[in-house]
């Protein structure tokens, strides 16, 4: 079912006239690629809890368990592909200046072909040494359920940001600049509970941008001066692209 975006005239016209847009995404944008979200019914953390798995101390205490969880997720991601929502964001680059700021670590925006992606929480396809930081990206088999050791002897870990860890040097500030200088921010598929990422839509709003929540669930919609489009990102984003294409080409 394609989403009837024409009802969102205000948004479409604003997008068509925009100089720059930011698309701020969470795990909901990858749900239609078959990747479980974090807090949904199939939520990754339902079976496990975040503090048990997505933090450094747990990894050092139980490296095999945490590593195995990441290998399980990498296998799911490896078997999945970008969905119509990811692809629509790439297509939009033909007509608009699009910057993606993502909380996701699944690399799907990059695989879809988006040219400007800020990764706030790292990338699950990368690994690094816990001590010397040496990168180990390609050589690790998805089936290896034991974390490898670096040539310096220390454990290798996924190159993602765990709870209690700072975001990669400078990424948040760069992302914040993008959000403060855009005309429209699409907030797609996020429950807005993880900080400091969750502060970015307010940064856009207070800089005068139009902020639009696209979500299947309006309970995660931060009411107030934000528009809300209830729907699946894999339907709403292609509908937005079709409308912009129609406006720009005819
Ligand atoms: C930090 C990588 C400074 C790992 C992730 C106490 C001590 C220390 C810090 C804190 C603390 N208390 C609070 C904090 C801050 C903490 C935090 O925010 N905690 C929360 C839980 C309260 N943050 C941090 O620790 C951050 N660092 O603060 O550093 C610091 C340092 C030291 C000491 C103090 C401060 C680091 C946070 C990064 C955590 N790492 N990921 C991994 O992936 O394994 S976060 C993880 O959650 C993912 O990145 C994910 O993207 C992100 C956010 O979740 P969502 O994407 O929103 O997913 P969710 O399932 O929640 O929602 C999905 C949404 O999609 C729903 O709304 C659903 O309705 C919708 N949806 C579903 N399907 C669709 C859809 N919408 C549209 N279409 C669909 N088809
Ligand atoms: Zn090392």
By the 8 A CB rule, do 11 and 96 touch? no
pTM recorded for the entire structure: 0.95
Number of neighbours of residue 150 by Cβ within 10 angstroms: 19
Q: How many degrees, rounded to 5, is the angle at CA 110 between CA 105 and CA 115?
A: 130
pLDDT at 187 over 60: yes
Atom of ligand 1 nearest to the CA of 39: 60
Instruction: Verify that 22 and 90 share a domain, yes or no.
Output: yes
Round to whole Å and give the CA distance between 109 and 90: 8
Note the pLDDT of residue 134: 96
Give the range of the structural domain holding residue 184, as residue numbers without chain letter.
1-34+82-121+167-250
Provide, rounded to the nearest whole percent, the portion of the chain with pLDDT above 90. Answer: 79
Instruction: Verify that 67 and 171 share a domain, yes or no.
Output: no
Instruction: Verify that 64 and 137 share a domain, yes or no.
Output: yes
Ligand nearest to the CA of 133: 2
DSSP string, the chain: ----GGGGHHHHHHHHT-S-EEEEE-GGGGGGGT---SSSTT-HHHHS-HHHHSSHHHHHHSHHHHHHHHHHHHHHHHT----HHHHHHHHHTTTS-EEEEE---S-HHHHHT-S-EEESSEEEEEEEETTT--B--SS--TT--S--B-TTSSBEEEEEPPTTSPPSTTHHHHHHHHHHT-SEEEEES----STTGGGHHHHHHHTT-EEEEEES-GGG---SS-EEEES-HHHHHHHHHHHHHHHHH-
Segment 156-185 mean pLDDT? 97
Which residues sit with their C-beta closer than 6 Å to ligand 1?
26-28, 31-32, 37-40, 43, 54, 103-105, 121, 160-166, 189-191, 193-196, 214-217, 220, 232-234
Segment 6-13 mean pLDDT? 82
Round to whole Å and give the CA distance between 217 and 201: 17
Ligand nearest to the CA of 148: 2
What CATH code is carried by the domain that includes residue 108? 3.40.50.1220
Mind listing the pLDDT tens digit for each residue in 207-234? 999 999 999 998 867 667 789 999 999 9
Note the pLDDT of residue 1: 46
Mind listing the pLDDT tens digit for each residue in 198-213? 999 999 999 999 999 9
pLDDT at 46 over 70: no
Instruction: Verify that 71 and 133 share a domain, yes or no.
Output: yes
Domain total of the chain: 2
Segment 221-249 mean pLDDT? 90
> Cα of 83 to ligand 1 centre, how many Å?
22
**Would you place residue 6 in the very low, low, confident or very high pLDDT band (cuts 50, 70, 90)?**
low
What CATH code is carried by the domain that includes residue 62? 3.30.1600.10
Instruction: Verify that 104 and 225 share a domain, yes or no.
Output: yes
The reply to whether 51 belongs to the active site is no
Instruction: Verify that 115 and 179 share a domain, yes or no.
Output: yes
Atom of ligand 1 nearest to the CA of 190: 57
By the 8 A CB rule, do 127 and 107 touch? no
Instruction: Verify that 114 and 171 share a domain, yes or no.
Output: yes
Segment 13-29 mean pLDDT? 96
160: which strand partners? 122
Round to whole Å and give the CA distance between 249 and 147: 52
Round to whole Å and give the CA distance between 175 and 168: 11
Ligand nearest to the CA of 135: 2
- Which residue has the least CA distance to atom 73 on ligand 1? 28
Segment 241-248 mean pLDDT? 94
**Would you place residue 196 in the very low, low, confident or very high pLDDT band (cuts 50, 70, 90)?**
very high
Instruction: Verify that 246 and 203 share a domain, yes or no.
Output: yes
- Which residue has the least CA distance to atom 6 on ligand 1? 164
Mind listing the pLDDT tens digit for each residue in 88-127? 999 999 999 999 999 999 999 999 999 999 999 999 999 9
Instruction: Verify that 136 and 204 share a domain, yes or no.
Output: no
Instruction: Verify that 176 and 136 share a domain, yes or no.
Output: no
């Amino acid at each position: 079912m394609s989403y009837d975006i024409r009802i969102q005239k205000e948004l479409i016209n604003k997008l068509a006239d925009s100089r720059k847009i930011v698309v701020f995404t969470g795990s909901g944008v990858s749900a239609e690629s078959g990747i479980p979200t974090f807090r949904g019914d199939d939520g990754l953390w339902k079976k496990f809890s975040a503090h048990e798995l997505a933090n450094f101390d747990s990894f050092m205490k139980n490296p095999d368990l945490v590593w195995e969880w990441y290998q399980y997720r990498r296998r799911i991601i490896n078997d999945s592909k970008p969905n119509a929502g990811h692809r629509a964001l790439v297509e939009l680059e033909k007509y608009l200046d699009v910057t993606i700021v993502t909380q996701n670590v699944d690399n799907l925006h990059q695989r879809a072909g988006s040219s400007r992606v800020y990764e706030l929480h790292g990338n699950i396809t990368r690994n690094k040494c816990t001590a010397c930081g040496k990168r180990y990206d390609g050589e690790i088999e998805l089936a290896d359920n034991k974390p490898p050791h670096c040539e310096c002897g220390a454990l290798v870990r996924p190159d993602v940001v765990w709870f209690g860890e700072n975001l990669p040097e400078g990424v948040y500030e760069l992302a914040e600049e993008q959000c403060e200088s855009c005309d429209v921010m699409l907030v797609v598929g996020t429950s807005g509970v993880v900080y400091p990422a969750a502060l970015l839509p307010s940064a856009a709003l207070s800089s005068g941008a139009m902020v639009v929540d696209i979500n299947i669930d309006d309970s995660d919609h931060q009411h107030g001066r934000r528009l809300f489009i209830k729907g699946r990102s894999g339907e709403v984003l292609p509908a937005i692209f079709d409308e912009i294409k129609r406006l720009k080409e005819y």
